[in-house]
Amino acid sequence: MGRTITAFWDESFIAHEQPAGEFESEWTGRLAYRQPHPDRPERLKNIYSIVQAELADHVTLADVEPATREQLERTHTADHIDDLQAFCADGGGRITAETGANEHTFRAATHAAGATCLAAEHALETPADDIPYAMVRPSGHHAQPEQVDGFCYFNNVAVAADHVLETTDTERVAIVDWDVHHGNGTQECFEDRDDVLVIGIHNDHWSWDPEAHPQTGDLDEVGTGDGEGYNVNVPLPPGTGDEGYEHVFDRIVEPLLRSYDPGLLLISAGQDAGTMDPLGRNVVTKGGFEELGRRARVLADEYADGNLAVVQEGGYQVSHLAYATLGVLEGVLGVETGIDDPMAWMDEDYESAQRAIEDIAAYHSEYWPVLE
């Protein structure tokens, strides 16, 4: 039968809902219509639907257990966990300018972190031809040890990385985050450690909030102390598309994984670099995401003992997100559904991306000579 996917899924991911307003901002009363928040349940409903429609023969759904208190506290402070639980128990509301919760959010967030831990365990314990996919919501990569940020509450990939480093004989974990937004929370979780290599590929957008999102995602945020050099930011110019992302993998991701030799590769798979996404400015197509999924599988096979887990992050054009994620999973599986991208209409600015990527590689070569 070839490769298969075990998808970790729970209905709680749909019950979580953010406050409506003016796109992601609070409603002011100036407008006639309270717009649903961009992180709405339909995002994951569409992914679930397209996976069932097009990959049912390749995908098995697996039940999820919530992350335990012990698992969460390896990454997050007790106060943060308690505050979020109490806030949701009281009915929720808006927490920051762009992030809110309802009474179901705490359950969804603990199940999302738990699903990602299970996916990481699955990657380490089962044959490489069965790839785990944490089909989760809410996302996690903006959540910092002490606070929520960017629609994220617990940092799913960070909780999973800490879990396997603590409970298995895995010594090094690599996280490749291709969400169009800087995974600032993941960066903060591991900025002083060398047992987790974080490669963040994102738009060059800097901080959107000095309090909730103090990190910039710029080149000079390379980590501190023992972690210096192990946080690799790849800020890309707007208009980067399929060729640009392929060049990032050729020029930066593949050499770093070859040098680092992780025991597990975690992918923070946010498809908001897609051509139609309202919160991104890049133009990656379904075909481009298929290539990213294929490259992730090949790199895990070559440099991470075949241990790969894919974790859902962002993507906010609810139709294109489903097609882009289908592309990722096709690439991971090595199958073709024959479905074209119905929204691939923007040309990319490859020349600007290529120049930026060469500058980025030169900057990080101080820590990674393989990039010279």
Cα separation of 47 and 86, whole Å? 30
Are the beta carbons of 138 and 102 closer than 8 angstroms?
Answer: no
Per-residue pLDDT reduced to its tens digit, 237-268: 999 999 999 999 999 999 999 999 999 999 99
At 1 the pLDDT is 60
Average pLDDT, the chain: 97
Query: 355 Cβ partners below 8 Å, 6+ apart?
Result: none
Are the beta carbons of 345 and 275 closer than 8 angstroms?
Answer: yes
Cα separation of 127 and 269, whole Å? 22
What would the two tokens of residue 300 be?
């895990």
Find the distance separating the first CA and the last CA of the chain, reported in whole Å: 41
Q: For residues 226-239, b (16+ Cβ closer than 10 Å) or e, as one string?
A: ebeebbbbbbbbbb
Per-residue pLDDT reduced to its tens digit, 330-339: 999 999 999 9
pLDDT average, residue stretch 139-166: 98
Tokens 């490259």 appear where? 295
Q: Cα-flanking dihedrals φ and ψ of residue 85, to 5°?
A: -60, -45
Q: Choose between 209 and 142: higher pLDDT.
A: 142
What single DSSP character describes residue 162? H
Q: Name the residue type at position 149.
A: D
What would the two tokens of residue 107 be?
């359950």
**Nearest CA-CA partner of 321 in 38, 70, 31, 33:** 38
Cα separation of 162 and 190, whole Å? 10
Q: Name the residue type at position 291.
A: E
Cα separation of 55 and 57, whole Å? 5
Cα separation of 266 and 114, whole Å? 15
At 212 the pLDDT is 87
At 273 the pLDDT is 98
Catalytic site residues?
Answer: 142
Cα separation of 227 and 195, whole Å? 8
- Whether 47 has a pLDDT exceeding 80, the answer reads yes
Are the beta carbons of 249 and 295 closer than 8 angstroms?
Answer: yes
pLDDT average, residue stretch 308-319: 98
Cα separation of 154 and 71, whole Å? 11
Per-residue pLDDT reduced to its tens digit, 209-232: 888 899 999 999 999 999 999 999
Enumerate the H helices of the chain as residue ranges: 12-15, 42-54, 69-73, 78-89, 105-125, 156-167, 184-190, 242-248, 254-260, 286-303, 318-333, 350-364
Per-residue pLDDT reduced to its tens digit, 51-107: 999 999 999 999 999 999 999 999 999 999 999 999 999 999 999 999 999 999 999
Per-residue pLDDT reduced to its tens digit, 186-214: 999 999 999 999 999 999 999 988 888 99
Task: Say if residue 29 is exposed, middle or buried (CB neighbours under 10 Å; 0-12, 13-18, 19+).
Answer: exposed
